[in-house]
Homo-oligomer: A and B are copies of this chain.
Amino acid sequence: MDRKRFSNQPCPIAQATDIFGDWWIPMILRETLYGVDTFSEFQERLDISRNILNQRLKLLVDNGILSKELYQAPNRFKYVLTQKGRSALSILAAMAAWANQWAFPEGEHPIRLLDAESGEPLVPLVIDQRSGEPMEMKEIKLAPGPGFPNSKEALRRRFGIE
């Protein structure tokens, strides 16, 4: 059967998962951090099947994360991050920080993040903007926001009988 989709759910985690919940999307975005922007270079560096790459790039373009720009007529393109795409790199940064901490021994991180301008190391940390404290310190709970469907049924299904 077809892969389950979550794009109809009124939930940001579901929305993000619908696009990010795939093994190629984050890897393609990672490659942009190495300056990769052409079909061929993505294909070679990731060793990804060309049909899959094509489909994923389309998806990223359709979702406004990459834009496809002609750099030489008639069919040579660059795929460059949009603002939405650059913003999504924060998710990659959070993933990198997590895996650096948990998948590798202290002091043996294979990859460091650097500020491309200053060359200074970047150490990503997810904080709560209001308190300034690390998210990791918090116990997170989800609650309906202003955009949640105004239906007793939807509320019950998601949040239970509270």
Contacts and interface: CB of A to CB of B under 8 A. Distances in A.
Contacts of A62: none
Query: How large, as a class, is the contact surface on chain A?
Result: 35 or more
B126 A124 contact: yes
A90 B84 contact: no
Interface string A110-151: 111111110011111111111100111011111111111100
Interface string A34-53: 10000000000101100000
A96 interface: yes
- Count copies of this chain in the complex: 2
A145 B112 contact: yes
Contacts of A100: 12
A61 interface: no
A12 B128 CA distance: 23
Chain A binding surface SS class:
mixed
A142 B33 contact: yes
A124 B27 CA distance: 23
B27 A14 contact: yes
A88 B93 contact: no
Contacts of A14: 27, 30
A104 B140 contact: no
Nearest to A105: B147
Contact of A101 (B87, B113, B141): B87
A4 B53 CA distance: 13
B11 A23 contact: no
The 10 closest A-B pairs by CB, nearest first: A21-B23, A108-B147, A12-B99, A10-B110, A16-B95, A116-B139, A90-B126, A15-B99, A123-B129, A109-B145
